Amino acid sequence: MKKLLALSLALVMVFGLSTTALAQSTISFSWWGGDARHEATIKAVDAFEAKNPDIAVSDEYSAWSGWEEKMGQRFASNSAPDLNQINWNWITAFSSDGSKFVDLNTLSDIIDLSQFEKSGLDACTVAGKLQGLPVSMTGRIFYWNKAAFEKAGIGVPASHAELMAAGQVFKDKLGEDYYPLVLGTYDRMILMVFYLESVYGKDWVVENKLNYTKDEIAAGLNFIKEMEDGHVIPTLMKLTGDGADSLDKNNNWMDGHYGGIFEWDSAAGKFQKALNEDQEFVVGEHFSDWGEYQGGYAKVSMALAISETAQDKEAAAKLLNFLLNEEEGVALMESQRGIPLSKKANEYLAANKLLDPIVAEANAKVLSWVRFNLDPLFESNELKADETGVYAQVMANLSYGEVDVDGAADMLIEGVNSVLGN
């Protein structure tokens, strides 16, 4: 009797497991971001599972810190999740030969590619394969804490001259620890490139060659140094000493000691949220007094890509399309990854007032201003990594007074050329 019972239980279990296995395809989906993005994405994934009961999705998500290193190892060892939120430069960094990501053109019967502009798709096409679907375009812009400027008795700066003047006003009226702007090492590098493009009207890198002379780069570094000397931005010693992992976690940003940032338009939400209640977050303008050109670039902020190792590529494609093109998914994802490039998604969010007004304003300003192109290697980890990257080393040495602008220019040229393979 006992044997019969055990046998029956075993049979029922095997049957149950096998039917589950047969009925469900499990795919994995990875992304990085803050809490708001996690919450929105999890809701969207739940809605997808409800709509597609034959597909189960396992989530892998975290903050950005350390994420690129982790995912780099996963892609190198062919153990990456099936669907991935990827940084734009990962396509060239991990899959320059097209070996890591699926060509999404082959899944165009599931993914509605017609919702995307050709330029966006071209930006993600490497080795003749559409390796990712761009989620949004992003660029850098100033954000100001209006309350901090009001406290100093001035308005938010609309030009470089006003910003430089604000440095002294902050120091005199508010104190030594107050600055109208704060820039980390990578922010300094991007701002310098924006400035150089405004002055000289050319891309930073062209056909894998650094497009600026030593004197021009020295002028750019001097532009940064002058801001530091003029009490416009804190020194890197001061900023590092704050002990915060990122600017949005820095008390001096939260309470108005630092009056502005130069950030991605898509990052507005987390910086706005970080401010204390008595502070006011506003989108700034690009400065037209740097030079005669509209310096700056926009780039694909991130893309969704399907790993070549994915067992069920169709299921991953369904999820991708649901998140970027289908109303239900789009409504839940909101603008947590910037202003969507998908026409359908954009129209739906705008019509239903689901776009974050600050992000939308910043994105519109960025896209209408910038005129230059970004080389994917600009974001190579060897160049941009915190502390260890070439940009961080150059900016730190300059800020700490270890080298002058000429020495820093030499360091930067050598580092960039090394990554470009020259």
Partner 1 sequence: MSLQQKASRALLSRGAKKLDSGRIGFLYVLPWLLGFLFFKLYPFASSLYYSFTDMHLFNGISRWGFFNFENIFTSGQIIKSFTVTFKYVLVTVPLKLVTALFIAYILNFRIKGVTYFRTGYYVPSILGGSVAIAVLWKALFRNEGLVNAMLAVLGIKGPSWLSDPQYALFIISLLRIWQFGSSMVIFLAALKGVPEDLYEASTIDGATSRRQFFSITLPLISPVIFYNLVTQLVQAFQEFNGPYIITKGGPLNSTRLVSMIIYDQGIKNYKMGLSSALAWVLFIILMLLTLVAFKSQKHWVYYSDEMQGRGKK
398 binds partner 1 (CB under 8 A): no
18 binds partner 1 (CB under 8 A): no
Of 186, 62, 147, 124, nearest to 324 by C-alpha is 124
- Position 58, amino acid: S
The Cα 161–Cα 138 span in angstroms is 26
Between 155 and 401, whose beta carbon lies closer to partner 1? 401
Residue 16's alpha-carbon distances to 10, 23, 52, 53, 367, in angstroms, are 10, 11, 20, 16, 54
The answer for residues whose C-beta is within 8 angstroms of residue 21's C-beta and 6 or more apart is none
Q: Which of 238, 343, 344, 371 binds partner 1 (CB under 8 A)?
A: 238
Smallest separation, CB 410 to partner 1 (Å): 13
What's phi and psi for 149, nearest 5 deg? -70, -40
Q: Which of 47, 111, 236, 275 binds partner 1 (CB under 8 A)?
A: 236
Smallest separation, CB 84 to partner 1 (Å): 15
Of 90, 275, 92, 263, nearest to 186 by C-alpha is 263
Between 201 and 415, whose beta carbon lies closer to partner 1? 415
Smallest separation, CB 416 to partner 1 (Å): 15
Binding pattern for the stretch 241-280 against partner 1, x by CB under 8 A and - elsewhere:
xxxx------x-----------------------------
Q: Which of 327, 328, 386, 406 binds partner 1 (CB under 8 A)?
A: 386
Smallest separation, CB 368 to partner 1 (Å): 35
78 binds partner 1 (CB under 8 A): no
Of 374, 371, 340, 335, nearest to 355 by C-alpha is 335
76 binds partner 1 (CB under 8 A): yes
Q: Which of 40, 80, 93, 302 binds partner 1 (CB under 8 A)?
A: 93
Smallest separation, CB 72 to partner 1 (Å): 6
Report CA 288 to chain centroid distance, whole Å: 25
Between 211 and 309, whose beta carbon lies closer to partner 1? 309
Q: What residues from 94 to 113 belong to the interface with partner 1 (CB under 8 A)? A: 94-96
CA gyration radius for the chain?
24
Question: Which span (29-37, 130-138, 195-203, 230-238) binds partner 1, by CB under 8 A?
Answer: 230-238
Between 240 and 373, whose beta carbon lies closer to partner 1? 240
Between 368 and 388, whose beta carbon lies closer to partner 1? 388
Applying CB under 8 A, the site for partner 1 has a residue count of: 30
Question: Which span (166-174, 221-229, 231-239, 312-320) binds partner 1, by CB under 8 A?
Answer: 231-239
Q: Which of 150, 327, 328, 382 binds partner 1 (CB under 8 A)?
A: 382
The Cα 285–Cα 156 span in angstroms is 10
388 binds partner 1 (CB under 8 A): yes
- Provide the binding-site residues for partner 1, judged by CB under 8 A: 69, 72-73, 75-76, 93-96, 236-244, 251, 381-382, 385-388, 393, 396-397, 400, 402
